[in-house]
């Protein structure tokens, strides 16, 4: 009994500070709007320019978002369990994700892994977003492809001018797991309420793979499947790929 008292105290404290009923849960959605340097991403047809000035088209753009974690202004956090999502630019239903059973409250920060955490890469046969049927699992060297961009560029010397950027790898020095975090404007936090499911709108810049820390020239790098060159790309997109644009509360 003695140990219950602080909890009662704590929850009664909270109640007076916050008009949100404790222990209620609701949800929210995130829309990932895929773009290329400010223009909408259109697969297969539209020609874009990378920071190096090379022309390119994109045929495939897919990436994992996992381990979504929300923080409140008081520093408390909530990690959304089993949050693994595959965003695929070719499937509009896969650019909007829905999160359920999140404790109600005002959240002022969101963070997530770009890719899949270390343990889950080796955890055996998976389903859903992590099903190898999605073409994002390396069969010969266990682990997920975290970000996959395929396309063409006249500058690429590969067969068919192909661009093949399969970014993954978990072991140092070629670990490509990156975490993205962004603060949410405290004036308009993510307000999760039992009667309101807000929508977060992220802009995702596919061209961020090719600039940031290192400008990628397709004449010299047009193919990577893990390894040191994948690290260059991951270091580029770690900060530049995602931008929280707005929240509809």
Partner 1 sequence: MLRKLYVIAILGMGIAMMYACSKNQEDEVPANLNVAFKIPANFPVPAYNFDENKLTNPGFALGKKLFYEARLSADKSISCGSCHQQFAAFANLDHKVSHGVANCQGKRNAPPLFNLVWQKAFFWDGGVKNLETSPLNAIADTCEMRTDIATVIAFLKSTAPYPDLFKSAFGTEEINSQLILKSLAQFMGVMVSGNAKYDQVMRKENAAAFTSSELAGYNLFKARCVSCHAEPFFTDFSYRSNGLDLQSADEGRSHITGSATDFGKFRVPTLRNIEYTSPYMHDGRFYSLDEALEHYNTGVKPAANLDPLLKNGIPLSTLEKEQIKAFLKTLTDHEFIKNTLFSES
SS3 165: strand
Neighbours of 96 (CB within 10 A): 14
Which of 50/176 has CB closer to partner 1?
Answer: 176
Binds partner 1 (CB under 8 A): choice among 40, 75, 124, 160: 124
Outline where 54-173 has alpha helix (H): 118-121
Site for partner 1 in 163-182 (CB under 8 A): 171, 174
User: Any contact of residue 223 with partner 1 (CB under 8 A)?
Assistant: no
Is 31 in contact with 96 (CB distance < 8 Å)? yes
Cα 98 from Cα 94, distance rounded (Å): 10
Residues 143-162 that bind partner 1 (CB under 8 A): 143
Tell me how far apart the alpha carbons of residues 133 and 175 are, in angstroms, rounded to a whole number. Answer: 24
Q: Which stretch binds partner 1 (CB under 8 A): 8-16, 25-33, 137-145, 201-209?
A: 137-145
Q: Work out the burial of residue 125: count CB atoms within 10 Å of its CB; fewer than 13 is exposed, 13-18 middle, 19 or more buried.
A: exposed
Q: Is 131 in the site for partner 1 (CB under 8 A)?
A: yes
Examine residue 121 and tell whether it contacts partner 1 (CB under 8 A): yes
Per-residue contact flags (x/-) with partner 1 for residues 47 to 66, judged by CB under 8 A: --------------------
Minimum distance of partner 1 from residue 161's CB (angstroms): 23
Which tokens sit at 179? 């975490």
Q: How far is the CB of 238 from partner 1 (least distance, A)?
A: 20
Number of Cβ within a 10 Å radius of residue 21:
10
Residue 15 CB, nearest approach to partner 1 (Å): 40
Q: Apex CA 68: angle with CA 72 and CA 248, to 5°?
A: 65
Which residue in the set 22, 53, 132, 219 belongs to the binding site for partner 1 (CB under 8 A)?
A: 132
Among 98, 194, 227, 248, binds partner 1 (CB under 8 A): 227
Residues interacting with partner 1, by CB under 8 A?
Answer: 121-127, 131-133, 137, 139-143, 171, 174, 226-228
């Amino acid at each position: 009994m003695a140990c219950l008292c602080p909890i009662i105290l704590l929850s009664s404290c909270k109640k007076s500070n916050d008009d949100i009923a404790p222990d209620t849960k609701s949800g929210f959605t995130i829309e990932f709007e895929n773009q290329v340097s400010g223009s909408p991403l259109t697969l297969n047809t539209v020609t874009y320019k990378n920071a190096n000035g090379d022309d390119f088209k994109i045929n495939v753009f897919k990436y994992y978002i996992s381990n979504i974690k929300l923080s409140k202004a008081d520093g408390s956090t909530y990690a959304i369990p089993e949050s693994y999502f595959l965003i695929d630019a070719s499937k509009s239903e896969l650019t909007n994700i829905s999160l359920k059973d999140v404790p109600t409250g005002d959240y002022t920060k969101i963070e997530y892994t770009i890719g899949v955490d270390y343990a889950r890469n080796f955890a055996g046969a998976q389903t859903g977003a992590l099903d190898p049927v999605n073409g994002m699992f390396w069969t010969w060297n266990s682990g997920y492809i975290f970000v996959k961009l395929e396309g063409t560029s006249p500058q690429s010397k590969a067969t068919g001018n192909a661009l093949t950027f399969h970014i993954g790898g978990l072991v140092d020095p070629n670990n490509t797991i990156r975490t993205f975090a962004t603060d949410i404007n405290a004036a308009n936090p993510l307000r999760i309420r039992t009667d309101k499911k807000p929508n977060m709108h992220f802009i995702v810049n596919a061209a961020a793979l090719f600039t940031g820390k290192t400008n990628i020239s397709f004449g010299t790098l047009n193919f990577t499947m893990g390894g040191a060159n994948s690290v260059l790309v991951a270091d580029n997109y770690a900060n530049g790929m995602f931008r929280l644009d707005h929240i509809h509360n």
